[in-house]
Structure 1
Amino acid sequence: MKTNYGKLGQESMNSLKDTLERAADVQLQLLAELMCRNCETVYGKKYGFGEIRTAGEFQKKVPLSVYGNYADYILRMIAGEERVLTEEPAVYYCISSGTTGDAKYLPLTETDLKIQYTYAYGVLFGMVKEYYRDLPEEEVFGKIFQIGEFAKTYMENGTMNGIRSGCVYQWLDRDGKFDAGDYCVPKEVLFPDTLEDLLYVKVRFALAEGELRAIHGVFINRAAGVMDYIWRNWEMLLRDMEHGSVDECVGLSPRWREYVERKLPPNPLRAAQLRLLSHETLRENMIKKIWPKVRYVLAIGGKSFAHYTKKMKEYAGDIPIHPYAYAASEGIFGIAEKMDQPDRYILFPEAGFFEFLPLNEGQVEENRPLFMWEISTGERYELVFTNHSGLYRYCMGDVIEVIGWYGQAPIVQFCYRKNQVINIAGEKSNQEQLAEAIKRFAFCMRCEVMGYCVQEDMSDLLPRYQFYLECTDINSSGAEDILDDCLCRVNYEYQGCRKMNEIGKVRISYLRAGSFECYEEHLAKSGKQMGQHKQACILDTAEKKQFFAAQENSYRKIREIPKDHVS
């Protein structure tokens, strides 16, 4: 399948703009279709889908739900039972770790995948085309460096499974006819038959491709990590390119080592070309230096990924970054409003049926979730979502803020996840507040925080927050007082708890350089797919806590070695 990106992008953009102008009607029609289509399913019969005629009746008859309400139904589907949650069969199961670390399986229908293909895949090419409207398409679209993982994996019943970001690609290749000619790696690298860290392999192919036009990722921390990898291993990569070899330090299986040496013979000409770039000045605008024809980078960044967004902009220079989509395993909810504008996502009406639970109980009687046509700019809501694949009135736990409108559809900013909070005495510090506190702390300390995470510490007389920080050029004197003050300023409940002596002053443990990169390597080695990995923030599992405690202890041991024992 060779894709005409200009045509796909234009058609997808036209469809999006049409639905945004009549979002309310599209939403009501979609709800009616879902109720009618699924009225004979096990779930539909239980809640009387066949009798539902209005959005109000839908809210009265169908309860709000979470994953636990579906787990047994999904197991029945996996076992082969039909018409359980949807009339349409599942063709893919998204695997999500969830907030507790337990695996969740979320079904996807073909209808859902077609909508994702149009709006979360096709529209981005339309936006790129509009951004470069004065250039011919052949100068805009070309070879893509896809850094995501699309290993082909299956449920026991033969249905495809994997992470959400890989589902469209696996679905497009369901009959084996996907043409990977648009990518800088061969198809067997794009779709490996087993899950293995192939970053080195992808980078080698990407560096060999001088005509690269785009870099695609999911989250910007992963994209920036790939650029870091290239910068750190520059000499080794060029040496391997020149000789057609694979360095001994590269952690590849014998099979993939042999593959790289066979597929990438010595290329001294390209290696010499890249060696003209000074490594000392390579980091700034690195992408354009290595690949002069790259037109855009695709990666979700913004406020929640402030450090990595800044780092990626350093690598990208004036190359625009497309912030991609607002999405989760449960659905693709929105598409970035524009190129190079993070944290602004248009909720597209065909994604599913949206409801918005007010955070302020006084906003509506009985705290009833509002519909798309009832919400207001400047207000925050918890997202409630009904998708095409069997989730009905599903409480996402995402808090979003309406910051504008495109036609009749809201433009939203993701704020934080309700269940991702650290809470010792009712203060409920969320991710947004923690990120703002760290930002203020870095400014006050005149340092850069490369990464941070936090957990509750119950080991002392007063419970407190335990922060793990990976910093540059920090003078630790007074740092805990400053961070504690920053937390008080961003969270008045925390400030009150401190004044009432219900919470002790924060404790900071400093991590050695590269600790968060080590965590990503740890996840990859344990078999986790990295395409959707976000930086650890709140340590909510024993595994996460043990890992970062070990990083701290290792750093402490290094610092405590007497100077006369250092060679």
Structure 2
Amino acid sequence: MLLLLILTLFLGTSGTIVLLFIWRGWTVERLTARCWRWWFLHVLSKQNQLRILDCDASNAHGVQEKLLLKALRGLQDTEYGKKHHFKDVADISSFKRLHPLTHYSHYKDYIQQMAQGEQNILVTGGPLALVATTGTSGLSSLVPVKASSATERFIQGTSVCLQVIQKSFPGALEKVTKFTFPPNQINSHAGIPIGSYPCATSASFLEYLYSPSPPHHPTMSHHEVLYTQILYALRDRGLMVLEANLAWHLREVFSFMETYWGSLVTDIEMGYLNPDLKLPQDTRREIEDYLLPDVGRAAELRAQFEKGFVGIAKRIWPQLQVVVAVGSGANELDLQILKDTACQGILIYSPMYYAVEGLIGVNLWPENIDPRYVMCPRSAFFEFIPLTTVKEEEPDTVCMKDVIIGEAYELVITNTDGLCRYRLGDVVRVTALHNQSPVLEFLHRKSQTLSVRGERISEDEFYRALLHTVNIWPGATLVNYCCIESGILGPFLGGSDPHYEVFIALKGVRDLSEEQRNKLDQALQDRFPIYKSFRFKGSIGPVRVHLVSHQSFFKLHVLASCISGAPLDCIQPPRTLRHRRLAECIQKQVVS
């Protein structure tokens, strides 16, 4: 204490603080990151986007109409705005009258013009990027995104969720690590970036919020990216938040960790990188300069890993408070497996409901088991198609003020990036109101509906039937799955009646009898009378169940990313495959 007083007298307060940081081994870079984090969290609390959302939600319909008219005024001088008479739109009713409901095919030619560099087509000037949608079927579309949209998504979505974390878990944002795959971005002939959402994860803006991440080189494989990111995370005993875009990715992190923990611990103990990783020398040197031998941490990790992987997250990171990853929809199985295994005892927070086309809602209740999302009235203009009218050629829509609690709807979005009355393909249920803003439960994607004779079994309904079936197979636990309508594979399946091909990874059993496999077909018949009728008539053949390894689904994910152009860690788990290459990929992985 006396030494500290003398230093303060000679060097001043600021000089003494700098010396103390150096004494603790803090570099200028780490000091800068620390200061930036303090500043960011201070600004976050002052801006209080959470309060602004509450204010918007108290007048949701008024905010929606004002947002719509402002968006259309901003687009009225574009080629699209002139064609659809945006300058004549005076209110929501006239907008619905003048503009039809749309699908992606409505915009395809316009987007092609934008990719070629033409200006003022769907948006004023040109887009910041053309972004690949992150659907679950492997098929992808490109939609325009402006810089202002990316900024608004961060302000209305990411910053609100950070405030929720800051409020629910005080101090947790001091130690956050994020697992992500670097995007492979290309440019159109006109130089417009094509691929990942600009600032979709706010990675560049939030660089200093996250703990140090390893350097990345374009030649690194997905295996090497996962390995080095996990290595950095394991070194830091004080992590308080783990984050990934989607639950399947975080589950893959722990699966990878379970397979390679011995090598990872050795690297931490010795302070060098596994020589089997074929990294460029400069990248390897930079990582090894950061590592430094840590015998104590290695011994602690080894002791915990040897006890097994149930609850491993909390045991290797004792200060861990929350895991952040979207866990609804196609990620539900992955979320449940995380809760039951690696993340047992840790709250998992599914923060946002969003699509490339726009931010839809944020989750204000991290403690809830099932994620629910308050719609953001200032993000985009939303309409809802009641499921009772969804099959009509031009179904009626309702606005936020007219939704009914407990009812399911297909979402329609109008954004500031040129998409108008766009049928998003998401089916949601309104579970409550937050002030006047609907609170949504995501149900399923329309594109994930199974139908070979018009019977229509949604992804969510099929998943429930599959879970029921697996539960009656002795000792079996569902690890992963996907489905294919037999017509996707065409001649590869011969001339049999149309049917479902189901590919599953199981834990606890190595094979299934024909009787056990037939249980899934029986479960579908019991739950869906129309399916049962077609089966009775013989116009739909029995479900065919195939066993594959869990690793097969990661390969499927990688291929889906390559086909769609969307970043790997933003691709939803492929459940109902619509692309021939994806179907052939999983078929080649069958072991039984």
TM-score higher than 0.5: yes
1:312 is the counterpart of 2:341: no
Q: CA contact under 8 A between 1:288 and 1:316: conserved in structure 2?
A: yes
Partner residue of 2:356 out of 303, 307, 329? 329
In 2, the alpha carbon distance for the partners of 1:363 and 1:243 equals 63
Partner residue of 1:127 out of 141, 164, 174? 164
Q: Which residue of 2 aligns with 1:471?
A: 506
Listed one character per residue, the Cα deviations across residues 73-102 of structure 1 (whole Å, up to 9, x for unaligned) are 223223333322123642233223657745
SS of alignment partner, residue 367 of structure 1: coil
In 1, the alpha carbon distance for the partners of 2:219 and 2:351 equals 27
The aligned amino acid for 1:529 is P
Name the CA shift for 1:399/1:195 in 2 (closer, same or farther; >3 Å): farther
1:368 is the counterpart of 2:368: no
TM-score, with length taken from structure 1: 0.88
Divergent runs of 4+, >4 A: 97-103, 156-161, 186-189, 192-196, 251-255, 362-366, 521-528
Matches within 5 A, 1:539-550: 539-550=577-588
1:162 is the counterpart of 2:195: yes
Q: Which residue of 2 aligns with 1:507?
A: 544
Matches within 5 A, 1:430-449: 430-446=458-474, 447-449=476-478
Q: Which residue of 2 aligns with 1:456?
A: 485
Q: CA contact under 8 A between 1:356 and 1:381: conserved in structure 2?
A: yes
Partner residue of 2:267 out of 214, 218, 240? 240
Listed one character per residue, the Cα deviations across residues 443-473 of structure 1 (whole Å, up to 9, x for unaligned) are 2214211111121335354332211111123
In 2, the alpha carbon distance for the partners of 1:59 and 1:308 equals 39
Shift of 1:439: 1.0
SS of alignment partner, residue 424 of structure 1: coil
The aligned amino acid for 1:390 is G
Partner residue of 1:377 out of 396, 405, 430? 405
Greater RCO, 1 or 2 (C-alpha within 8 Å, sep 6+): 2
The aligned amino acid for 2:360 is F
In 1, the alpha carbon distance for the partners of 2:153 and 2:125 equals 16
In 2, the alpha carbon distance for the partners of 1:370 and 1:57 equals 14
Listed one character per residue, the Cα deviations across residues 369-412 of structure 1 (whole Å, up to 9, x for unaligned) are 11111111121111110012111111111111111111111111
The aligned amino acid for 1:377 is I
Name the CA shift for 1:76/1:520 in 2 (closer, same or farther; >3 Å): closer
In 1, the alpha carbon distance for the partners of 2:82 and 2:404 equals 34
1:295 is the counterpart of 2:331: no
Matches within 5 A, 1:370-409: 370-409=398-437
Q: Which moved more, 1:77-86 or 1:346-355?
A: 77-86
In 2, the alpha carbon distance for the partners of 1:365 and 1:258 equals 61
SS of alignment partner, residue 141 of structure 1: helix
Shift of 1:195: 7.5
Q: CA contact under 8 A between 1:333 and 1:347: conserved in structure 2?
A: yes
Q: Which moved more, 1:452-461 or 1:37-46?
A: 452-461
Shift of 1:179: 6.6
In 2, the alpha carbon distance for the partners of 1:196 and 1:525 equals 13
Shift of 1:110: 2.5
Name the CA shift for 1:506/1:29 in 2 (closer, same or farther; >3 Å): same
Q: Which residue of 1 aligns with 2:385?
A: 357
Q: Which residue of 2 aligns with 1:269?
A: 296
Listed one character per residue, the Cα deviations across residues 412-438 of structure 1 (whole Å, up to 9, x for unaligned) are 112122122222111122211111111
In 1, the alpha carbon distance for the partners of 2:537 and 2:278 equals 52
Q: Which moved more, 1:200-209 or 1:454-463?
A: 454-463
1:227 is the counterpart of 2:254: yes
In 2, the alpha carbon distance for the partners of 1:362 and 1:244 equals 59
Listed one character per residue, the Cα deviations across residues 14-62 of structure 1 (whole Å, up to 9, x for unaligned) are 1111111110110010011112221111111001000110111101111
SS of alignment partner, residue 202 of structure 2: helix
Q: CA contact under 8 A between 2:484 and 2:500: conserved in structure 1?
A: yes
Q: Which moved more, 1:419-428 or 1:242-251?
A: 242-251
Q: CA contact under 8 A between 2:242 and 2:324: conserved in structure 1?
A: yes
Q: CA contact under 8 A between 1:36 and 1:50: conserved in structure 2?
A: yes
In 1, the alpha carbon distance for the partners of 2:496 and 2:311 equals 50
Name the CA shift for 1:279/1:74 in 2 (closer, same or farther; >3 Å): same
Matches within 5 A, 1:138-287: 139-151=171-183, 153=185, 155-156=187-188, 157-164=190-197, 166-169=199-202, 173=204, 178=205, 180-186=207-213, 188-189=215-216, 196-197=221-222, 198-250=225-277, 252=279, 256-281=283-308, 283-287=309-313
Q: Which moved more, 1:270-279 or 1:360-369?
A: 360-369
SS of alignment partner, residue 324 of structure 2: strand
SS of alignment partner, residue 299 of structure 1: strand
Name the CA shift for 1:102/1:152 in 2 (closer, same or farther; >3 Å): closer
Partner residue of 2:574 out of 519, 536, 547? 536
Aligned residues: 540
Q: CA contact under 8 A between 1:6 and 1:126: conserved in structure 2?
A: no
The aligned amino acid for 1:534 is Q
Partner residue of 1:45 out of 77, 82, 90? 82
Q: CA contact under 8 A between 2:506 and 2:547: conserved in structure 1?
A: yes
Shift of 1:150: 4.1
Shift of 1:516: 2.0
TM-score, with length taken from structure 2: 0.84
Partner residue of 2:450 out of 414, 419, 422? 422
Partner residue of 2:151 out of 106, 109, 114? 114
In 1, the alpha carbon distance for the partners of 2:299 and 2:276 equals 22
In 2, the alpha carbon distance for the partners of 1:362 and 1:321 equals 34
Q: Which residue of 2 aligns with 1:565?
A: none
Shift of 1:5: 2.9
Q: CA contact under 8 A between 1:402 and 1:410: conserved in structure 2?
A: yes
The aligned amino acid for 2:246 is F
Name the CA shift for 1:280/1:321 in 2 (closer, same or farther; >3 Å): same
The aligned amino acid for 1:409 is S
1:489 is the counterpart of 2:529: no
Name the CA shift for 1:543/1:461 in 2 (closer, same or farther; >3 Å): closer
The aligned amino acid for 2:296 is L
Shift of 1:65: 1.4
Q: CA contact under 8 A between 1:384 and 1:395: conserved in structure 2?
A: yes
In 2, the alpha carbon distance for the partners of 1:510 and 1:70 equals 40
Identity, % of aligned positions? 24
In 1, the alpha carbon distance for the partners of 2:139 and 2:519 equals 36
SS of alignment partner, residue 472 of structure 2: helix
The aligned amino acid for 1:499 is F
In 1, the alpha carbon distance for the partners of 2:214 and 2:287 equals 14
In 2, the alpha carbon distance for the partners of 1:377 and 1:305 equals 24
Q: Which residue of 1 aligns with 2:373?
A: 345
Name the CA shift for 1:91/1:400 in 2 (closer, same or farther; >3 Å): same
The aligned amino acid for 1:164 is Y
Partner residue of 1:4 out of 40, 51, 57? 40
